Structure 1
Amino acid sequence: MGTNLSSNSTPSISPNSDAVHIAFGVDTNYFRGMAVNITSILKNNPGMVFIFHVFAFSITDDSRRRLEDLEKKYDIAINIHILHQDILSDFNQFPCFSQHPLGTFIRILIPNLLQGITNKALYLDADILCLGELRELQSINIDDCIAAVVHDEVETTAKTQIAALKLSHADYFNAGVMYINIDNWVANDCQSKALTVLSTQQLLFADQDALNAVLNGHVKYIDEKWNFRYHLVDFLSKGGKTLNVTAPVVFMHFTGPVKPWHDWCLHEAKDIFVRYQSASSWADVLLDQPKSTREMKLFSKFLLKQKRPFEGLFWHGKYLWSRSVKNIKFHIK
């Protein structure tokens, strides 16, 4: 499949440089999270050279300006790659592609788009914070594999998906962090194979399942510190609000519906996020308020668990009102 790509800049460094290329695939709602992720990387890794690649189907003028400001502030390279909407046109008719926003599938496209720019790239989800040093990453040998990855939860996600996908190697990874050998990815036609899997199979975790099906047996599993999943809703639902992690963590990945940029995230993770946001070009942007009925319901639950009954009941009332209005509109239609 041909590559349809436009970019606001060309890479300023050769593939043989010591720079670490870090790539993101984002939609409109994740630019702030990505920018804070970038800032946390820079703050924890002074002296290292990074080139950041931002892949998206669209970008607002405000987000573009803020990324340019971030680039100037830290004297770094941020290459913005805007993908044409028809890059996935051969697959749009399949159910999986209509059930998810196109941004979901960007990470499958990134390695092919980076061919000739770098031979190794670190892909990161936007809902990650860097809390440690990345220098050790460069010593991970990925010459004989397609990517270095981290196991997903062994007793839950991995266990069910290994069986569901009938994987010959009993391993399943979380695709939020992938250190990719670009040449090996392209040589093994991973993009085409993953898109084919997406268009021919019913998948629970969409592109992550497809990548596991295609890369099974061709990845290197590395320490959990490179993709430490932290499901905030689990802790908040029990009244927890402290980040209790004893093992060293390089990348903390905030999976699930609650993100640290949510103002209704009543957890220490929000304070850490705000600290890095204040050092970014998004410093003046307010945290997100609860918008959907689901978010209002979760916020109410978290407040009650933290023994804040009046606020909890207030937000439970807002949730009930929002749900009733939504039901009325549905019936009118």
Structure 2
Amino acid sequence: MTQENSIQNIAVTSGDDALHIAFGVDSSYFRGMGVAIASVIKNNPEMRCVFHVFAFSVSDDSRRRIAQLATRYAININIHVLNPDVLDEFREFPCFAQHHLGTFIRLLIPDLLQGVAKRVLYLDADLLCLGPMDELLSMDLEGCIAAAVHDQLETTSRTQIAALGLPVAEYFNAGVMYINVANWIAHDTQVKALTVLSTRELVFADQDALNVTLNGHIKFIDNKWNYRYHLVDFLSRGQKTLDVIAPVVFMHFTGPVKPWHDWCLHEAKTIFIGYQNLSAWHDMPLDQPRSARELKLFSKFLIKQGRTLEGIGWHVKYLWKRSAVSQKMLRKK
């Protein structure tokens, strides 16, 4: 069943044996979240899960689909609509002006679930569950604030450890975090992370802020829990099949290309569609390329896969779009 909860009155009766899973989403990620939930249920049919959807606004269509998903699988999905005023004191800072408010929701979730869940699994909405999660139920989190996975060791981690001046040379990807709620709150993580966001220039916004705040308090776990798959890298090389050997629990599609993009010419799109067909978003068409950047990438992917004439046609559309945007900007001046 679905429940609509205000932040002042969150009430969930689920028992200690349920795994609480939380998403923080904005309007463009509800489909991804719904399909992610369907993939969790498909690959963990015996696990008791309680889902939490945190957002600053939820459309009627999204509410309807969430209710359908909850009914179809007889699961508990709690919708938590946040008051945008919660971040008012930070809005004057550049970092908050550069990103959608939804970017910062994951900083708020553990405090909001105090008294509801002892642990919460936070998931980004651009991932799929591809395996069983039962190991989480027995994972020891007592000596840490959260369990997470190292970000790319040769790229992001190396640069950000140095840039942020992290005392402990560790940097995690915040797209999947298994959080000890009591320890998070005792560390005053929310306030500390928001303060970092408002006082420092950061490349990866809230992820950088969390790495500064939680440095030395993270339990690092196997990559299978947050296997980053940067689709644009594979497609830019003309590769269109999934390149994974080891078992994966969560495949996280980082970067500008998502598997719900119709212009994602990769096997990941087929896998995504399979899970979308199990969700309440089964009738939603995939996203077409819209921005100049998306048009340019699509034309590049087509050419890399030998579809040269199609690629040239989409490159022409990219040039037209870029010209139209430039003219619009000139008129504004």
Aligned partner of 2:123 in structure 1 is: 124
| Secondary structure, counterpart of 1:90 in structure 2 | helix
Alpha-carbon offset, residue 13 of structure 1: 1.9
| 1:288 aligned counterpart, secondary structure | coil
Q: Is the 8 A contact 1:26 1:55 kept in 2?
A: yes
Partner of 2:328: 329
Letter of the aligned partner of 1:143 in structure 2?
Answer: E
Partner of residue 83, structure 1: 82
Match of 1:287 in 2: 286
Deviation at 1:61, TM superposition (A): 0.3
**Residue 12, structure 1, aligned to residue 46, structure 2:** no
Give, in whole Å, the separation in 2 of the partners of 1:40 and 1:32.
12
Cα–Cα, structure 1 residues 166 and 332, in superposed 2: closer, same or farther, change >3 Å? same
> Is it true that 1:268 corresponds to 2:267 in the alignment?
yes
Instruction: Name the SS for the 2:6 alignment partner.
Output: strand
Task: Please state whether the residue corresponding to 1:264 is helix, strand or coil.
Answer: coil
Deviations along 1:112-138, whole A, 9 cap, x unmatched? 000000010000000000000000111
Q: Deviations over 1:280-312 (max 9, x none)?
A: 000000000000000000000000000001110
1:25 aligns with 2:38: no
Secondary structure in 2 aligned to 1:321? Answer: helix
Given that residues 122 and 179 in structure 1 are in contact (C-alpha distance below 8 angstroms), is that contact kept between their aligned partners in structure 2?
A: yes
Identity of aligned residues (%): 65
Q: Residue 196 and residue 10 in structure 1: after superposition, are their counterparts in 2 closer, same or farther (change >3 A)?
A: closer
CA distance in 1, matches of 2:17, 2:263: 40
Corresponding residue number in structure 2 for 1:146: 145
The aligned residue for residue 239 of structure 2 is: 240
Stretches (4+) displaced over 6 A: none
CA distance in 2 between partners of 1:67 and 1:126 (Å):
14
Query: In the TM superposition, what is the alpha-carbon distance from 1:214 to its structure 2 partner?
Result: 0.5
User: 2:10 touches 2:116 (CA, 8 Å); kept in 1?
Assistant: no
Instruction: Report SS of the residue matched to 1:154.
Output: coil
Give RMSD over aligned pairs. Answer: 1.2
Deviation at 1:139, TM superposition (A): 1.6
Where structure 2 has 5 or more consecutive residues not aligned to the other structure, the ranges are none
Q: Which residue of 1 aligns with 2:51?
A: 52
Counterparts of 1:290-305 in structure 2 under 5 Å? 290-305=289-304
Structure 1: runs of 5+ lacking an equivalent: none
Is the Cα contact below 8 Å between 2:7 and 2:112 reproduced in 1?
A: no
Structure 1 residue identity aligned to 2:304: K
User: Aligned-pair distance for 1:85?
Assistant: 1.0
TM-score norm. by structure 2 comes to: 0.97
Q: Aligned equivalents of 2:169 and 2:212: distance in 1?
A: 11
Tell me the CA shift for residue 92 of structure 1: 0.9
Deviation readout 1:31-86 (Å, 9 max, x if unpaired) = 00000000000000011110000000001000011000000000000000000010
Aligned residues: 328
User: What is the alpha-carbon distance in structure 2 between the residues aligned to residue 71 and residue 10 of structure 1?
Assistant: 18
CA 9–30 in structure 1, closer or farther in 2 if over 3 Å, else same:
farther
**Secondary structure in 2 matching 1:236:** helix
Report if the CA contact (8 A) 1:300-1:315 is conserved: yes
The answer on whether the counterparts of 1:7 and 1:79 sit within 8 Å (CA) in structure 2 is no
For the residue of structure 2 that corresponds to 1:155, the secondary structure is coil
Please report how far the alpha carbon of residue 11 of structure 1 lies from its aligned counterpart in structure 2 after TM superposition. 3.9
Q: What secondary structure is seen at the aligned counterpart in 1 of 2:281? A: coil
Q: Distance in 1 between matches of 2:309 and 2:227?
A: 35
CA distance in 2, matches of 1:10, 1:171: 34
Code of the residue aligned with 1:88 in structure 2: it is L
Report the equivalent of 2:306.
Answer: 307
The one-letter amino acid of 2:100's match is P
What amino acid is the match of 1:285? Answer: M
Give the structure 2 partner of residue 183 of structure 1. 182
Structure 2: distance between partners of 1:76 and 1:9: 20
> Which residue identity is paired with 2:294?
E
Q: Provide the C-alpha distance between the structure 2 equivalents of 1:287 and 1:301, rounded to a whole number of angstroms.
A: 19
The residue that corresponds to 2:208 in the other structure is: 209
Change (3 A) 1:120 1:63: same
3-state SS, counterpart of residue 79 of structure 1: strand
Q: Find the residue that maps to 2:179 and give its secondary structure.
A: strand
Q: Is the Cα–Cα contact under 8 Å of residues 146 and 180 in structure 1 kept in the other structure?
A: yes
